[in-house]
Each structure stands twice: as C-alpha cells, then as structure tokens.
Structure 1
Amino acid sequence: MQDPSRPATGYPAPSYYQTNGGQAPPSATAYPYSAPHPYPQNQYYNPNPSRNYFTRSFVRSFIATLVCLFVIFGAIVFIVWLVLRPTLPDFRLDSFSLTNFSATSQSVNGTWKAGFLVRNNNKKMTITYQVIEARIVYDTLFLREQLLPFKQDTKTETPLNATFSAVNTPVKKEVVDDMNANKAGGSIPFNVEVLASTVFRSGAWRLRARLLKVSCRRVPIGISSNSTSGKLSGGARECQVWT
C-alpha cells in the first residue's frame, strides 16, 4: 500500500497559481525581456557644464574688450591728428659752392659747401632733429657729413650748413671723364641729400620718430673749364621732403 505522505509521481507539479491562491506572479515588465536604458550607455557626460560656459563667456568678453580698446585708441589718435595736424618741414637749398676742384685720372678733389634753410610750418608741434646726415652724390662719388642735432620751435626757420671734402677720393675713370665733360659745358650737376631722424612733439604729446628724407636733385654748380671754383646756378632750390 502506497504511503500517503509521499508525493505522487507521474503527475505534473502544481502550478504557481495553485500554490499561491490563484494570484498571478509578480512582473517588473509587461514584456518577456528587460526594457532598454533611457540613455545610451556611451553618451558623453559633462560633470561640470557651468565651467565650460564660463570659459566661453570669458573668451568672448576678452575679445570684445580688445576690440573696444583698439577702436578707442584709434579714435584718440585720429582726434589728436586732426587737432595737431603735423606737417613735414620744408628744406630749401639757398647756397651751394665748390672750391679746389680737380678730377684727374681716377680720383676727385674738392670742397663743397651747402647751405639749407629749414622751415617748420607747424602751428602746434615742435620738431627735434636727433640724427642728421648730409650727402653729396655724383654717380659713384659719395660724400657724407654728420651734422649737429637741433630743436626747431613752431613757425620758425633754421639755417643748416654742411661742408664736404674729397681728398684723392677714388672714382671710376668714366666718372672723371663725365665730370670734366660737364665742366667744359659750364656746370656740374650734383645731388644733395639729407637724412634726419625726427620727433614731432606738442606738449605732452609725442609722435613716434620719423626718418625724414630730403633730396635736391641735379643741382648745378657753375664752373668754367679753366677754373677750380664755382657756385650754385639758377638761384635757391626747393627740395623734396618725404618720410
């Protein structure tokens, strides 16, 4: 006789509904698989978004500040220029002479004297000539002379003199022949130049230093074929001035 305490075999096991009073099993989802994560697992996560916003805001503010400063500085410079209106000085070659001149073989001798009148036309700006160099040029003949610096007040004129000497200065034979040919024609043309480092100033306002260039081209010295001396022909010459 079969023991009633032992479960019967050959019959299906009782279902959960039977053992649980007919209640349905708990379920976290209505589907037989788990729901996907609401955000992709590989999405970038910024732990401190306010820091990036602050950085971008700072860069934009810095660039805007630089632009404003540049505009303000440009406006100030333009206003100062309109008020002061700096103009370049005038250079006039009033005198030009040559003594003890000779051009033989491949050398040149002589003494040149040039006299300028420098005029400052500015009403509000003084001009300081810091470094001044005067030159005489004839083809490959190149003579230079350092002049003393000076300061020129507004609406004033200042004389400027320079002396050049050539003692057996070597030049090409073609240059000697050309000089003697011009001398035989009654005059020898020379280029007279000035280079000057200048500063324009008005009270506390000081403009940047400028390199002033002065050129008097082909200034003739009248000299006869049997003479060693001559002087400027045709009167005073206005020179070209630029920076």
Structure 2
Amino acid sequence: MQQDPNSRPATGYPYPYPYPNPPPQPAANGYPPNAGTAYPPYQNHNPYFAPQQPSPRAVLLRRLFIAFTAFLILLGLILFIFLLVARPQSPEVYINSLSVSNFNASNNQVTGKWDLQLRFRNPNSKMSLYYDSVFCRLYYNRDSLADTRLPPFDQDKKDETPFNATLSASGTYLDGKLVDSIGKERADKGSVEFDLRVDSWVIFRYGAFRRRRYVTFLCVDVAVGVPASSSSGKMIGLSKRCRAY
C-alpha cells in the first residue's frame, strides 16, 4: 500500500521530532543580552580599604564626653531646682539720714563733713547674708567728693542692720563749672543734691550652699538743705531706698 506523501499527523499526537530549545542569540551589538546589568557580587580583596574599627582611646573619649555632658545637665537641673526653692533676693539699702557740716565750695575746692546713716535689709526668708568690703562714696554730678569703708558684718534672715558712717572732704578739687553749679543750687533752691554709691561683696548662705556676688547700690539726687548763708544742713524728706545693680 502506497503512503500519501502529503499526509499530516493526526491532531492530538505529539510531533515525532520536537525542536530543541534554541540557543541564545547575540544582540544586534554583538554582546549577549543583559551583559550590562548582570554583574557578579563585589568582593573587596584589598586590605588597605577594609573598614577601620574605632580605637579604644576614641571610644574612651566619647564615653567621657557623654558622661561630662550628663553631669553638667544634672548639675544645672539641681541648681535650677535650688534657685526655684530658695529664691535668693538682693539685699536692700536705705538712707535714713544725711547731714553736712563745715560745707564750703569755692576756688575749685569742696570741703565738708557728711554724717550718714544707712539701713541694710535682708529680704530673704531662707538665706542669711554676709557683707564684705563695704565701700561708701559720695558724689556730686558724677564727681567723687569723699569715701569711707564700713566693717564687714553678718545678717540673718529678714533682718535689718543700721550703720553710721562719716565721709570727709578737705579741699577736694572740683572743676570750676561744678563749683558754680553748687553755688547756683544753693542760691536757687537752698539745697544741694548729692549721689551716694555703696559697693559690697555679698555672700548668700543657705545651709552648705555659698554664693558670692558683687552688688552696687545707688542713691541719686539726695537733697540736703544747705542754703548759701549756712555751712550745715540735713537731708530733705524721709528715708530713701537705694537701687541695687
């Protein structure tokens, strides 16, 4: 029986000679596909570029810095809480009285004796004070006329301490304009306005806590009645509080 050369295999049966998987074809540029993206994982074989470990000294310095920063923060927090509880306040100074005798201003010179009574007050209810190196200076229009020093003293909580002081000037030189200004004040108002400055180191004490602070007190325009026809006079008005700086 002769077989039909144009006959085809029946549907549903595998082709007797299947084609093998085609080999990869080169791309148009002559390189295999994905040649630019398929890299093997990088391995560093150069010992000079190996990651360096921090030295023990650097680690120690870093830990010391962290500990020191934490200590400062803790110290600041303790100080803040202490100041919040203790609430230290600057002392107060008042002029109770000021009188002058043998006062004369002429020929660019000033002579006089000023008797002063001060009152120091501690406004703190939890801290005592210690005053050291207390200096008193008397001025006229920012020019110093006389000065004196008071002895150091203690002051308890909410305590008040009066102090008497004497300031003397014997022929202290003044500019001619200032001497003329003093004469004009005495002729027009029958008084002269002086300025008083008190400087002191003040130590605040609260248990074992000590804090030293330099405080300046200024009493400006303290009028003393001394007319041109007299060489003595007293402070006009009542006690006056000095301003603390």
Shorter-normalised TM-score: what interval? 0.7 to 0.9
> Could you list the runs of 5+ residues in structure 1 that have no partner in the other structure?
1-37
1:152 to 155, 159, 169: 155
Structure 2: how far apart are the matches of 1:55 and 1:193?
Answer: 56
CA positional deviation for 1:57:
2.5
Deviation at 1:138, TM superposition (A): 0.7
Q: Which of residues 86, 89, 92 in structure 2 aligns to 1:87? A: 89
The residue that corresponds to 1:10 in the other structure is: none
Aligned residue pair count:
201
The question of 1:202 aligning with 2:206 is answered yes
Confirm whether residue 101 of structure 1 aligns to residue 107 of structure 2: no
Write out aligned runs for 1:1-243 (5 A).
Answer: 39-40=45-46, 44=48, 52-139=54-141, 140-185=143-188, 186-207=190-211, 209-242=212-245
* Distance across 2 between alignment mates of 1:170 and 1:59: 63
Deviations 1:98-138 (A, max 9, x none): 10101111111110111111110111111100110001001
Please give the per-residue CA displacement for 1:183-213, whole angstroms capped at 9, x wherever unaligned.
Answer: 1121100001100011000121111x11110
Structure 1 residue matching 2:137: 3-state secondary structure: strand
Once the 2 structures are TM-superposed, how far is the Cα of residue 53 of structure 1 from its aligned partner?
Answer: 4.4
Corresponding residue number in structure 2 for 1:26: none
The SS at the match of 1:44 is helix
Letter in 2 for 1:153: D
C-alpha distance in 2 between matches for 1:160 and 1:193: 15
Quickly say closer, same or farther: Cα 1:144–1:75, change in 2 above 3 A.
same
3-state secondary structure, aligned to 1:92: strand
| Equivalent-residue separation in structure 2 for 1:227 and 1:49 (angstroms) | 91
Whole-angstrom distance in 1 between the partners of 2:227 and 2:61: 77
Cα displacement (A) at 1:225? 1.8
Residue by residue over 1:203-242, the C-alpha shift from the partner in whole angstroms, topping out at 9 and shown as x without a partner, is 21111x1111000001000112200101111211111012
TM-score by length of 2: 0.77
Shift of 1:142: 3.1
Q: For residue 72 of structure 2, give the secondary structure of its aligned residue in structure 1.
A: helix
Match for 1:115: what amino acid? Answer: Q
Separation in 2, partners of 1:55, 1:150: 53
Give % identity.
32
Distance 1:168 1:55 in 2: 70
TM-score w.r.t. length of structure 1: 0.77
Unaligned runs of 5+ in 2: 1-43
* Alpha-carbon separation, structure 1, partners of 2:86 and 2:56: 45
Q: CA RMSD in A?
A: 1.9
Q: Distance in 2 between matches of 1:192 and 1:205?
A: 32
Q: Distance in 2 between matches of 1:231 and 1:175?
A: 21
